[in-house]
């Protein structure tokens, strides 16, 4: 809860003072009072807290247009998803530009890789061996 209250004793908008109450060395609760006049409240339910007002500096009209970087394709135009991207244990290669590339490079001649016809081929890297 906030600390701003409207005190019924003095009629002012002030702050709530919370002081701990002890019996010996054991804390047993809190005493609640107005900081301006000292008016005591029996419980937190009796305290007339002020409503917090949110200041609206910007409206929805002030927001900028959402930019869609990938144009509805979350993978984008990364070499990793290109049909000309070749990976072997020693290097990553672009078949169009005939140079080494990284998986996160992009280029203007991007062509999406067609989906594999055999789902197992995507995992193993080739067609299934014939069953004998």
CATH class of the domain at 73-114: mainly beta
Residue 129 structure tokens? 């061996």
Q: Exposure of 85 by Cβ count < 10 A (0-12 exposed, 13-18 middle, 19+ buried)?
A: buried
pLDDT at 77: 81
Conformational region of residue 21, where left means phi above 0, alpha means psi within -120 to 50, and beta covers everything else: beta
What CA dihedral angle connects 70, 73, 78 and 84, to 10 degrees? -140
pTM score: 0.40
pLDDT averages per 10-residue partition of the chain, 132 residues: 83 92 92 92 89 80 78 75 88 90 88 76 59 61
The CA-CA-CA angle for residues 68, 99, 119, to 5°, reads: 60
pLDDT at 61: 85
Q: Are the C-beta atoms of residues 113 and 81 closer than 8 Å to each other?
A: yes
pLDDT at 74: 64
Q: Boundaries of CATH 2.20.70 in the chain?
A: 73-114
d(CA 91, CA 77): 20
pLDDT at 106: 85
Residue 70 structure tokens? 């990938």
pLDDT at 26: 94
DSSP SS3 for 69: coil
């Amino acid at each position: 809860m906030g600390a701003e209250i409207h005190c019924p004793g003095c009629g002012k908008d002030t702050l709530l003072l919370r002081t701990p109450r002890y019996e010996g060395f054991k804390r047993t609760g809190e005493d609640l009072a107005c900081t301006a006049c000292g008016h005591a409240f029996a419980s937190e339910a009796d305290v007339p807290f002020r409503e917090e007002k949110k200041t609206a500096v910007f409206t929805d009209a002030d927001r900028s247009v959402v930019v869609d970087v990938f144009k509805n394709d979350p993978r984008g135009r990364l070499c990793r998803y290109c049909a000309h991207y070749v990976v072997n244990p020693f290097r990553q290669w672009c078949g169009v530009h005939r140079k080494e590339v990284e998986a996160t490079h992009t280029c203007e001649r991007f062509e999406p890789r067609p989906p594999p016809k055999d789902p197992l081929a995507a995992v193993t890297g080739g067609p299934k061996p014939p069953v004998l």
